[in-house]
Chain A
Amino acid sequence: MTGWFLLLGRRRQEDTVFLLTILLFLTFSFVLHGFLTTGNIIALLRSVALLGILAVGMGIVVIGRGIDLSLVAILAISVAVFLNLLGQSYPIGIALLLALVGVIAVGALNGVLTAYAEMPAIFATLATGTFVYGLGRSQFLTQDVIYLPPGHDLFTAFGNARLASIPVEVVVFAFILVGAFLWLRFSKYGRYIYLIGDNLNAARNAGLPVRPVIVLQYVVSALLAFVAGLIMAAGIHSMNTRIVNSSLLYDVILVVVIGGIGLSGGKGGVRNLIVGTLLIGILLNGMTILDISDLYQNLIKATVLLAALIVDGVLNPRDEQTDQQGDI
């Protein structure tokens, strides 16, 4: 047992997960008929792309030692309100702009609550998520399911668009991955997020604009949620706000944690997100082909998450420094 952990210990978690991903991919390729076909791989990527986009948003916040539990509420309500405005015959540009302003406001609110009011991110975003859902459902929406009104062919065409037979979700996801990589790796503010996530007080003492950067990271994650929601609505021509009660948020956290972005902040990057997204994508696709019921799928996903957390705990043990910083 110790030997196994030692073997693991020489690797980073993402390498272990990547190995597991390849193993799973090979197993399914041999065992499952119809898994290793171009069509299925594209379908697999397509179905996991939305999760991936949300995971990029969550990942950026987690690197900055926060967490955003309002992601799915923002996704659902912003897009439902957008569709609702279209239903009231607002021009698409105005509707988009109004929704966008709302999304940025909520992201900024998350940031202000955590950075300036110094509320723990987990409570602040839980509260704003519930607030956004409650406000949207009670003030703007009369139903759970908001349908895209007819006549928005450009929007639906976007949902069905393909670039060299690759669906638009996957293309957007790829662009966001590249963008996030460049931003986190090479931009000043991207580097600041790592420094803040690693040690907030040291970053502040070094003179970094700690609070504005934290606000920025929540605005970015809110915007990514909006993008994911728009793509979702363009595909299924509706938005069901009940998605807020689904396990989507936990799936997003699953991808981030399994990919190896430590919840203690300051670590990880786009590579982890790709690995995490692929593993979950392959797992979900394989389980669907095997016709495993939702209850068992949740059990399997939960087991994988627990295993990832245990491995994370072993590979990234708490030391004096991280303990002092407190937990999210």
Chain B
Amino acid sequence: MPASKTALALATAGFLAAAPAFARNDPGPATYDAALKDKTVVLVPMSTGEDLAQGWAHYVGDAVKAAGGKFEVRDPNWNTEAGAQAITEAINSKPAVIIVQAPDLQSYSKLFRRAQEAGIYVIQVDNPTNYPTEAFVGSNWTKLGELEAQAVINGCGPNSSKEIGLIQGDQTNSSSLDQYTGIQNVLKDHPDFKIVAQPDSNWDASTARSVATTLIQQHPNVCGIIDYWDATAQGTAAAIRAAGKTGKITLATTGGGEQADCNLLDTGVIDALVATDVPNQSRDVITTIKFLMQSGIKPGTVKTWLYTPEHITTKADIKNGTCWNLKDFAKSK
């Protein structure tokens, strides 16, 4: 099409001719490049063995390195003391940003303040605490609980027994408590549905299996079970399987949305997953870091909450890319 080609050529020529007019002093690229150059970002998750932490480390780590920064991960291996030590050491090495997944509401509050006083930005991920810092990036656990309850109500249907069981975590962790609140919120709107039992798994799959077995034994009409974590849902699913109730009891849970979760959905081990969107959550963390580093804001003076949008995933929703895959990380390295 010669006409359009000519037009394109003219436009290009015009653009080139006009180019000197655009050669203004754009501070953008230089500011962007300087923001993270040779700066250090430290991630202190609860353990580097969990899928969430591996996802953050990959996505955030890559972005920080691509922007010229250094990225370090410390592994407290589920130990609150070790985590406190890791944060203390991190503060002493004066990084620009510390990203922390706190194990509970209170333990790290003083450390967060110390970090901010030392001029370090603190971003909290996944588990909220009583001490808000520059940013919290993670799930709204109450919302997660609401979605789980909705998934189970959908799964049970209007003509079911409307009996629901919960396999809770430990009733001390904020994620456990907030999920419970969320479930209660939804049940208020569905007064005919009731919780018949709510034992704890203490985050252990074989305990989950034992208590779920007892739950089904005691309440054979139960039509849906909410397990607070995908790793323990394996145990709950085993109990459902052993009772011959696969497909009759809807099992909803939360997870990191890693490929293992999609496999569980695909094979019918779990029926509904409210997944934490790790790639997008990581992007929120990255954007926050880049904003803070360019802003000149003094640490401790702003507070932000960025909740990751969550939704219910069922087997029917699975397509390529629904779950992220840890194995891809190994390939990309």
Binding site for B on A (CB under 8 A): 33-34, 37, 39-40, 43, 46-47, 50, 137, 141-145, 147, 150, 159-160, 167, 232, 235-238, 240-243, 245-248, 284-285, 288-289, 291, 293-295, 297
Contact = CB atoms under 8 A, between A and B. Distances in A.
Interface in B232-252: 234-235, 237-238, 241-242
B231 interface: yes
Contacts of B207: 246
B205 A285 contact: no
Nearest to B218: A34
B326 interface: yes
Nearest to B78: A245
Interface in B162-206: 170-172, 197-200, 202-206
Contact of A289 (B50, B214, B234): B214
Contacts of A46: 210, 213
Nearest to A39: B217
A315 to B, nearest CB: 31
Given A240-B204, A291-B197, A144 B172 contact: no
A81 B42 CA distance: 30
B239 to A, nearest CB: 9
Nearest to B169: A294
A50 B206 contact: yes
A46 B267 CA distance: 25
Contacts of B200: 293-294, 297
Contacts of B197: 291
B78 A237 contact: no
A238 B205 CA distance: 9
A137 B260 contact: no
Given A150-B267, A294-B202, A235 B209 contact: yes
A37 B217 contact: yes
A145 B204 contact: no
Given A34-B218, A144-B47, A145-B260, A284 B204 contact: no
Interface residues of B, number: 41
Contact of B206 (A144, A160, A232): A232
B150 interface: no
Given A34-B218, A236-B234, A237-B238, A47 B209 contact: yes
Nearest to B235: A236
A289 B241 CA distance: 20
Nearest to A147: B260
A144 B49 contact: yes
B210 A47 contact: yes
Given A242-B203, A295-B171, A142 B326 contact: yes
B218 A289 contact: yes
Contacts of A160: 241-242
A19 to B, nearest CB: 25
Contacts of A247: 202
Contacts of B78: 242, 245
